[in-house]
């Protein structure tokens, strides 16, 4: 990715979270995506996995574990695919879907 305005460049390998400036550009270009939990029984394990992967605090993790929403995370397509891959490796089934088109 190369910014036409400032010339800043970024190469991604689809692993981990992008820097904030790149994340905003990806959201603006590709819209917002989300990870939906396939089985509510996996919610606690999914919350623990996301805590480790994203460095979430205890309050955020507890909120995620207690949430009634099937959405685990929303963000860029790359973030959602990366997280879904790690959750799938733990036997936690998810679906990645587009939540919102670019503005």
Q: Are 80 and 34 in contact (CB under 8 A)?
A: yes
pLDDT at 98: 95
Q: Which phi and psi angles does 4 have, rounded to 5°? A: -65, -30
Percentage of the chain modeled with pLDDT above 70: 83
- Radius of gyration over every alpha carbon of the chain, rounded to an integer in angstroms: 14
More confident residue, 45 or 4: 45
Distance CA 46, CA 84 (A): 10
Percentage of the chain modeled with pLDDT above 90: 65
Given pLDDT bands bounded at 50, 70 and 90, which one contains residue 22? confident
Q: Which domains, from first to last, does the chain contain?
A: 20-100 (3.30.1390.10)
Residues 54-78: pLDDT tens digits? 999 999 999 999 999 999 999 999 8
Q: Whose CA is closest to 86, among 33, 48, 60, 39?
A: 48
Q: Are strands 32-37 and 94-100 parallel, antiparallel or unpaired?
A: antiparallel
């Amino acid at each position: 990715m190369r910014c036409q305005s400032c010339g800043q460049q970024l190469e991604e390998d689809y692993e981990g979270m992008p820097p904030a400036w790149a994340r905003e550009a990806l959201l603006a270009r590709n819209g917002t995506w989300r990870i939906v939990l396939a089985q509510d029984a996996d919610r606690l394990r999914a919350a623990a996995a996301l805590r480790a992967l994203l460095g979430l605090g205890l309050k955020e993790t507890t909120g995620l574990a207690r949430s009634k929403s099937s959405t685990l995370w929303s963000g860029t397509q790359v973030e959602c695919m990366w997280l879904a891959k790690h959750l799938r490796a733990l036997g936690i089934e998810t679906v990645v879907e587009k939540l919102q088109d670019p503005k």
